[in-house]
Amino acid sequence: MNSWRSRLLTGVLLFTAMQMHSEVSIMLPNTQGGMLAFHGSAALVDLFLIFCVPIFIRGQICSDVQLLCLISMVMNFCGWIGYLSYATPDLYNASMWGLSYVQWGRLLWKDNHDAYHLWGDMVYRADSIGS
């Protein structure tokens, strides 16, 4: 069962990984090698997350977050290919932000393996209102 605490910790892990990658890669040059390092390290962060997420959450939500990390790895490869073909980075940036929102939103969405929640799937309650 995934409590709100486990989903919160997973969200903090995702946010921290994103922020750390942003801080570390901000000084990379806008060259083919620099962008390979940027997109490659982003894919490695996603691979790290694939292995770390099962520590905090279980069930379908874990599989979904891992799948979203795998999709992010593929999108980073496509982003590097797009850079090599001189495509504008707007599509890559928008799609990566959109994927991040989907990942965070998935953590708020309950499934059958989560605790029964009141209040938009975020607050745990042990008993129903009538009992």
Q: Could you read off the pLDDT of 49-67 as tens digits, one per residue?
A: 999 999 999 888 999 999 9
Stated pTM of the model: 0.82
Max CA distance (Å), the chain: 64
Tell me the per-residue pLDDT of 13-45, one tens digit each, with 9 for 90 and over.
Answer: 999 999 999 999 999 999 999 999 999 999 999
Each domain of the chain, given as residue ranges in start order, spans 4-124
Buried b (16+ CB within 10 A) or exposed e, 91-118: ebeeebeeeeeebeebbeebeeebeeee
